[in-house]
Structures are given as structure tokens and as C-alpha cells.
Amino acid sequence: MSQKPTITNALSRRDFLHSSALVATSLVAPFDALALIPERPPSDAASPILLGLASYTFRNFSRAQLIGFMKQLNLSAVNLKDVKDHLPSAAQEETAALADYAAAAIKPHAAGTIYFDKDEDADIRNKFEYCKRAGISVVVAGDPAPQTLSRIEKFVREYDIRFAIHNHGPEDKLWQSPLDVLKAVKGLDPRIGCCIDVGHTVRAGTDVVQAIHEAGPRLLNIHMKDLTNFQDKESQVAVGEGKMPVPKIFQALAAIGYKGFVDLEYEIHPDDPMPGVSASFAYMHGVLAGLAWPTSESAEATAWF
């Protein structure tokens, strides 16, 4: 059994802001100083948790601007969506986008949310081809009807691409909680599983830490956000300013041997997201720095590339 990480110091947001000059600089300095925030700082280099960005966070900005923001954040892992020109669905435009990301040393690891609203081979194949061209290893899927999953399973096997059903909370008629997903995919190919959106999960009344443990190897992607009120969708704040149990989430991910990414999906302030985005990453790096991780080779992070 792998050793569980332990908390070695207090993990409040205030502690991080006062104890880390790096974090403080990121929160008060101009955006060019954000280059000081590495994707994996030396302080959390031993962590098995990989942080990425959901491009929907910058949905009001072009691909060129998204790349610029990621360079400022020193991030290289992105979960892309067909919004603006981030990852167009047309093959020629998609190829141009991928060339831009490659030139910037940015690696797409997931795509979504992609909606599978047709129980038709041609439509499903087009979406898997879109992901194959991009070298995507995880499709984040929105609202596939349960009766389409057996058809989708054929394409998961053919393309060897993981299929992560995204839960959308109380408003979702099909997939309110990751637990709903787990019931539906039981017995299907193990590459079909969950994208747990932590905000929607807690709003559905589900214990997010317990859901991570129950999902186990069927957990394929995480969308990270924070809320001040677990009953209010509009209470989102920067990660660390709300009630989300981020340290326990990271510990649970390590305990199940999760090899995917924790992708920040910051949905508020769409015209000026960088202050909240940089604060969120600073907090998450602070949490990772405050956890003691096993040093064995089995604890090293290996992404699904």
C-alpha cells in the first residue's frame, strides 16, 4: 500500500501568503512577474499532482492571448475547448492551432467539454478524430445519454482515448454527481470514467473526497474551482478563498494513484481572469508545498500522454 501524504504545516491561505515571497510577488506584482511562478516549483517537485489549465477560463480571449497568459503563468499543460480559436473543430484550423501550441511548448492533454448529443457513428467518430489529430489522451464529455455509451465504447477501444463524463451539478438532468457517472459506466471499458468538477460535485450534495476514492481508476480528469457556498453556483472565488477542501482533494488523488491533471477552471471575471487565476495557482502550489509526499519511485507523477 502506498504511503499517504501528510500535512506538515498549517494550510490556510493566510499562511501561504505570509510565508512565501514567491506567492506574495505573484499577487501584487505586474503580470510580467508571473513568470516567477513555475508550473512545478522546487517546493512541490516531489508531488504526484499535476496542475493544468482549462482554456475555458480564458474563453473571452484569443488563442494567442491564451498562450501569452500561459507563458506568464509558466504553465505548459492545457485542457482545450472549441471556444474562440483555442482548438477549432475544422481540421485545417485545428492543425494551425496545434502548430501554435507546439511552438510555445504547450501540450494539450484533454479536450472539452465536448457534447455527444447524437447516437450516431459519424458524429462520434468526427469528435474522436478531432481529439486524435490533437494528440489528446482524454475526451471530457458533456451529457452523453446513457444509451449511447455502448456505441461510444467502440470508439474508445478503436482510438485508445479515454472518455471522461463531466458532471454538471443539480441542473444536470443526467449527470449531477460523479456517482451518477460511476453507476452508468460500471462494466464498460475502464477507459470510460469521470471528469469530476469539484464545484458541481459539492453543489450536488456529494462529498468530493469520497467521490474521488470511489472513482479510483475511473477518475480521468479534474476541474478545480472553489466556492464560498456549496449551494450557490454564483459563489465561485479564487481557489483558496472558499470552502473547497483542496488539501484533502490532493491527498485523495495521491492515495488512488491518480495520473491525470487537476485543471483550473476559473469561470468568473471572464474579461479579467488573471488575478484570480494566478492567486489560484499560487494557493495550490502552497498546498502542495505543505504536504509531505512519499519518496518512492511509485509516487512519481506520470501523466497520461
Question: What does the pLDDT look like over 214-248, one tens digit per residue?
Answer: 999 999 999 999 999 999 999 999 999 999 999 99
In a domain, 304, yes or no: no
* Predicted confidence band of residue 292 (pLDDT cuts 50, 70, 90): confident
For the whole model, what pTM was predicted?
0.85
Measured from the Cβ of residue 68, the count of other Cβ atoms closer than 10 Å reads: 15
CA-to-CA separations, 221 to 3, 155, 302, in angstroms, rounded: 22, 19, 14
Q: What is the pLDDT of residue 42?
A: 53
pLDDT tops 70 at residue 92: yes
| Domain boundaries, position 69 | 6-295
Q: What is the pLDDT of residue 214?
A: 98
| Number of independent structural domains in the chain | 1
In a domain, 191, yes or no: yes
pLDDT tops 80 at residue 66: yes
* Predicted confidence band of residue 295 (pLDDT cuts 50, 70, 90): low
Mean pLDDT of the chain: 87
Partners of 53 in the β-ladder: 78, 264
In a domain, 1, yes or no: no
Q: What is the pLDDT of residue 194?
A: 97
pLDDT tops 60 at residue 145: yes
Question: What CATH number does the domain containing 110 carry?
Answer: 3.20.20.150
In a domain, 300, yes or no: no
pLDDT tops 60 at residue 125: yes
Q: What is the pLDDT of residue 19?
A: 37
In a domain, 93, yes or no: yes
Which grid coordinates belong to 145?
445519454
pLDDT tops 50 at residue 22: no
In a domain, 85, yes or no: yes
In a domain, 302, yes or no: no
Q: What is the pLDDT of residue 94?
A: 97
Q: What is the pLDDT of residue 45?
A: 62
* Predicted confidence band of residue 293 (pLDDT cuts 50, 70, 90): confident
In a domain, 232, yes or no: yes
